[in-house]
Amino acid sequence: MAALACCQAQEAVTPKSESVAFDDFFVDKALRLELYQCGDAREMTTTLQTLAEEPCWPENPNSLIMPFPYGKYSVKAWDAASNRLVYAKGLDSLFAEYATTKPALSGTKRVIQTTARIPMPKAAVKLTIERRNGDNSLTTIMTEHLDPSDIRIRRESPTKGDKPFEVQNKGDAHHCLDIVFLSEGYSATQEDKFKADVQKMSDYLLSVAPYKGLSDRISVRGVFRASEESGTDLPHKGVFRNTALNSSFNTLDIDRYLLLDDNHRMHQMAAAVPFDTIVVLVNSTTYGGGAICLDYCVTTTDHPSSPMVFVHELGHCLAYLADEYVGNVSYNDIYPEGVEPVEPNITRQLEPDKIKWKSFLSKDVTLPTKSSRETRAERTVGAFEGGGYLSKGMYRPQAGCWMGSANPKEGFCVVCDDAIQRMIDFYTSKPELPK
Ligand SMILES: [Zn+2]
């Protein structure tokens, strides 16, 4: 999702896997799948390139089946012996966004890296990748039979020269939200600057709701890798820099949209520490950032709005929040007409009983709700028209929210706040003790 100008049946979803016991099916390591997606708007293939082992499974062993309907794709693992679903999680990729752009619609094919990760299975599994269709149903687009003894699984040591460090460690990675910051566009002499930038971003994140109240469950780490040159590519200004992860502005031809080509290399670098979500810090003063939901987000570090951009982009990446602003993107029909988006903070519904954030609606609120000085001041929760890049027919919960504006005073709306908390519960919850 581009930087500032991402459930149905959302209510009371308890993040709990369907009683899949981790130890029955998995060991405490991860299996990374490095994939390529190639195609245009009409057709696409997803192909496995590399399998690699990661040293631990940092995600929650009690949350093996994601309870949220998030992701343009879904990764599923089925125990081969019993054909039982033992792992499921949403996945997004830049390709899903590319497929909605004009070049893709006119048949220009592109190849884009993406990465999936599952816990390391104890025995053979069938792995599937499913694509979400226009009506939100899922279709299987790739099937692989994986065996943990497969000699193709790379079991390599981390890249020498990468320097992992801790900012705060709140304990067992299985039950913490583990955020890793990766350096991009920092030269060998700028390691201290990177560490200071990580501290600045981390301090800001942990000072705002809902992260502030949950900071005892959030671990923060960094990995420093020196780039040949400082900065990043600004193609619209003719600026190109040789950097560790090949980040660049002008993603999908949007000047402020900053992502990177080397998704596989980014995951290889991140695997030096336990991580649930990746933040790439780009050493630049230019305004911008970007996010691929459920995978990673990017922000520059030295624009006055950089901490705000970071918190906004992490909202996409971590909690599958939609942009609540209107227009200003290259996407076409990213939210097909007549289909309720799966993101928690936008809706096409106006019936109070069906609206996904009905438990938060202000008493006797009129739907749709008019944005006014009063509704802003009272933080009215209703259905305000405009969101998901669309000015008509799409509604957001409150007049103001960080998913729609860069005003530091705004904060997240109650629905985004709740969605972030539920995702942090998904990554951190512990099994209930027997009574
Ligand atoms: Zn919001």
Looking at the structure, tell me whether residues 97 and 221 fall in a common domain: no
Res. 119 pLDDT band, cuts 50 70 90: very high
- The whole-number average pLDDT for the span 185-202 is 98
Higher pLDDT, 110 or 17: 110
Angle, helix 306-319 to helix 414-428, in steps of 10 degrees: 60
| Residue 349, domain member (yes or no) | no
Looking at the structure, tell me whether residues 183 and 145 fall in a common domain: no
- The helix/strand/coil state of 88 is strand
| Residue 221, domain member (yes or no) | yes
432: β partners: none
| Residue 338, domain member (yes or no) | no
CATH number (domain holding residue 285): 3.40.390.10
For the ranges 154-158, 193-197, 305-309, which has the lowest average pLDDT?
154-158
| Residue 283 neighbours by CB under 8 Å, 6+ apart | 183, 184, 185, 186, 190, 193, 194, 197, 227, 230, 231, 232, 300, 301, 302
Q: Is the pLDDT of residue 99 over 70?
A: yes
Q: Please report which residue ranges of 151-190 form alpha helices under DSSP H.
A: none
pLDDT per position as a tens digit, 352-371: 999 999 999 999 999 999 99
Looking at the structure, tell me whether residues 198 and 57 fall in a common domain: no
Res. 331 pLDDT band, cuts 50 70 90: confident
Contact 54, 29 (CB under 8 A): yes
Separation in Å, CA 33 to CA 48, 211, 236:
7, 30, 33
Separation in Å, CA 34 to CA 74, 118, 272:
15, 12, 16
Ligand 1 centroid – CA 418 distance (Å): 9
Q: Which of 132, 154, 176 is the last residue of a domain?
A: 154
Q: Which of 289, 304, 319 is the last residue of a domain?
A: 319
| Residue 424, domain member (yes or no) | no
Looking at the structure, tell me whether residues 280 and 371 fall in a common domain: no
**Is cis: bond before 210, omega within 30 of 0?**
yes
Looking at the structure, tell me whether residues 204 and 99 fall in a common domain: no
Looking at the structure, tell me whether residues 59 and 98 fall in a common domain: yes
Ligand 1 centroid – CA 345 distance (Å): 6
Looking at the structure, tell me whether residues 260 and 174 fall in a common domain: yes
Ligand 1 centroid – CA 392 distance (Å): 17
> How high is the pLDDT of residue 397?
98
Looking at the structure, tell me whether residues 173 and 128 fall in a common domain: no
Q: Which of 134, 154, 174 is the last residue of a domain?
A: 154
What residue type is 187 in one-letter code?
Answer: S
Q: Which domain holds residue 34?
A: 22-154
> How high is the pLDDT of residue 7?
34
Looking at the structure, tell me whether residues 291 and 185 fall in a common domain: yes
> How high is the pLDDT of residue 329?
74
Ligand 1 centroid – CA 347 distance (Å): 11
129: β partners: 75, 142
pLDDT per position as a tens digit, 378-389: 899 999 999 999
| Residue 295, domain member (yes or no) | yes
Ligand 1 centroid – CA 55 distance (Å): 36
| Residue 17, domain member (yes or no) | no
Instruction: Calculate the average pLDDT of the chain.
Output: 93
| Residue 414, domain member (yes or no) | no
Ligand 1 centroid – CA 324 distance (Å): 7
| Residue 173 neighbours by CB under 8 Å, 6+ apart | 56, 58, 219, 274
Ligand 1 centroid – CA 314 distance (Å): 13
The tally of domains found in the chain comes to 3
Res. 13 pLDDT band, cuts 50 70 90: very low
> How high is the pLDDT of residue 1?
63
Res. 19 pLDDT band, cuts 50 70 90: confident
Looking at the structure, tell me whether residues 222 and 123 fall in a common domain: no
- The whole-number average pLDDT for the span 32-52 is 97
> How high is the pLDDT of residue 5?
47
| Residue 409, domain member (yes or no) | no
Res. 70 pLDDT band, cuts 50 70 90: very high
> How high is the pLDDT of residue 33?
98
- The whole-number average pLDDT for the span 288-300 is 97
Ligand 1 centroid – CA 322 distance (Å): 8
Q: Is the pLDDT of residue 377 over 70?
A: yes
CATH number (domain holding residue 50): 2.60.40.3250
- The whole-number average pLDDT for the span 69-78 is 97
Looking at the structure, tell me whether residues 245 and 380 fall in a common domain: no
Looking at the structure, tell me whether residues 55 and 136 fall in a common domain: yes
